Structure 1
């Protein structure tokens, strides 16, 4: 290992250690004041912009229930979920879920805004996903809609729907993490069985990983309020891991470099050209560098691009050869069958 590489590796390790330390200091649950960019900031306000009494009256059952929820969140959040409540708007919450390893959302950050309704907990909280325009899951729409049985926004059995006596916002967050942002999101769509369409599922995962990367770029450009430091430190710590995952995604998905005519191209990695991936990778690398991450520029080399290109080309050649064979078979059949059909026609006419 050369002196420059050793120095770069040492700098990267030092940066990661410092960022990881600051990440641990970021509270999983906290109460903050600035809710100005919250999606539901104007919800639950009266004509003169005053909060409804149920959120200000200390004797309100709604207010008491929300404070109970705060206590549950403070003591029971999984380590990859972070929540901010608002001292002047107790009806609002913001949460971020860190994408789990083994999923196409690995190391991504997924932000959700929640609003408790005036009749809470008789009705579930309202939810909005900060999609930045990307539809990266069957349950998470580009317009921010969140489809989940527990929120009564998705068809499901009675046991899976909101129960005023038992359901909590913590259950909603854990469901989003485990049931929505999972290993095989392709099967979140009703009617898709795990025993079928395994190739489509893999291709879908590749596409969702790329959309997750685009979401990262959007978050780095404009992180949500009260999470600016968290976004900065997270991507400082995880930058190199994300770039390495990008490399693996590019090479592995190249084997799926074509799509069938009877299935939407949206699910196929072949719909994203290699030069587009290269451009996205460079955008990520530059964004991470600007974010003061010590990026080791080894993840997306020319060898990687060539390897992916070879896989993509050989796959397309196989498809081309297959089409040639079927075309030849069709030609032979037409030569054999046409005279026979012509003779049958003459007999019928005669």
Structure 2
């Protein structure tokens, strides 16, 4: 391998911060890689090597600045990637790691992709057992144009699709046959849960950062810690929609706050859970070397007053249309209860088995 591709910018420093290549080649695959003990692709045939080198070149030249990939000299069939959650989503500023394996007959079959969920359910397409449901991987239904095409599909398309189609503004709407008023209501509740879980995962990543990404993880959360904590306080107090907090000046770690909305409806469950999570984030970011001087060390909940309270509706049960409205209200009550129960399960309020799998 060309040594010029190895850690070109990993040791470069700018303004006290390390600069990381989006694409980099490292000598050996870590034994904690999910597919480390899988059978090595018959590998190193000229055909597979040719396709791998083509994929590496595409990644090196075209990765967006929010996706980072590490590949391995001694196992060209394996790689590891991290995607940074985009603004305007409940995953904003979070980190999401994936281990990838190319089958021996690649590209005739799509790559295998494992998501490090730490036992949490972060998305309808990202399961707590690591399964990634995506049409392009042939793990989710879709028409022929959406599925893996050996002649045209690439690893870059897989990673960009996960970022754009899975880690979205309203991930709950990725479920089939979801929509309408009930879908939007449940989407808001799920966004709160996904936002919380994103930061529970972040704590685990800092405590044990993945191999070849140790410095990247620490620096990422150190530089974005103030914005993340500000976002937690603003969301919990109903001053901004989940995922829509930003800071003036174009950076995640500086400038005054700009709020996208105000007087947002926030569930008591979200507010109370955030009170418990906030000091854990403070401790985690301090371990990354973050300067949190001036940042409140405790999340104080404010009284939320709805500016436009709903008017009480009188329903005439003898009216056929109003009977339909009664049924709708009953249905919504059941939907809300199921949503709350499911969210409690996601966050561990209900007993459930969680994966102890760690990235190393």
Query: TM tier, shorter chain?
Result: 0.7 to 0.9
The verdict on how the C-alpha distance between 1:255 and 1:237 changes in structure 2, with shifts beyond 3 A counting, is: closer
Residues in 1 aligned to 2:41 and 2:60: alpha-carbon distance in whole angstroms: 25
**Match of 2:37?**
42
Deviation at 1:202, TM superposition (A): 1.9
Q: Distance in 1 between matches of 2:239 and 2:174?
A: 21
Residues 299 and 175 of structure 1, relative CA distance in 2, 3 Å threshold? farther
| Structural mapping, 1:9-20, within 5 Å | 18=15
Distance 1:236 1:195 in 2: 39
Cα distance in 1 for partners of 2:222, 2:187 equals 30
What is the distance in 2 between the residues matched to 1:171 and 1:178?
10
In the TM superposition, what whole-angstrom CA distance separates every residue of 1:110-130 from its partner, at most 9, and x where no partner exists?
A: 000000001100100000000
TM-score by length of 2: 0.71
How many residues were matched structurally? Answer: 277
**Structure 1 residue 272 displacement after superposition:** 2.6
Q: Is the 8 A contact 1:97 1:177 kept in 2?
A: yes
Q: Tell me if structure 2 keeps the 8 A contact 1:34–1:226.
A: no
Residue aligned with 1:105, SS: coil
Between the aligned partners of 1:217 and 1:247, the Cα distance in structure 2 is 17
Q: Which residue of 1 aligns with 2:158?
A: 172
Contact kept? 1:35, 1:86, Cα under 8 Å: no
**Which stretches in structure 2 are left out of the alignment for 5+ residues?**
1-13, 243-264, 316-360
Contact 1:98/1:109, CA 8 A, preserved across alignment: yes
Does 1:218 pair with 2:212? Answer: no
Q: Choose which of 171, 175, 189 in structure 2 pairs with 1:189.
A: 175
CA RMSD of aligned residues (A): 2.7
Cα distance per residue 1:132-180 (max 9 Å; x no partner): 1110110000110000000000011110000000000000000001000
> Structure 1 CA distance, aligned partners of 2:225 and 2:146?
37
TM-score (norm 1): 0.73
In 1, Cα distance between equivalents of 2:61 and 2:182: 41
Match for residue 290 of structure 1 among 268, 287, 291: 287
Say whether 1:244 aligns with 2:230: yes
Name the larger-Rg structure.
1
Structure 1: segments with no counterpart, 5+ residues: 1-16, 46-50, 257-267, 327-350
Any residues of structure 2 matched to 1:295-334 within 5 Å, and which?
A: 295-299=292-296, 304-305=300-301, 307=302, 310-311=303-304
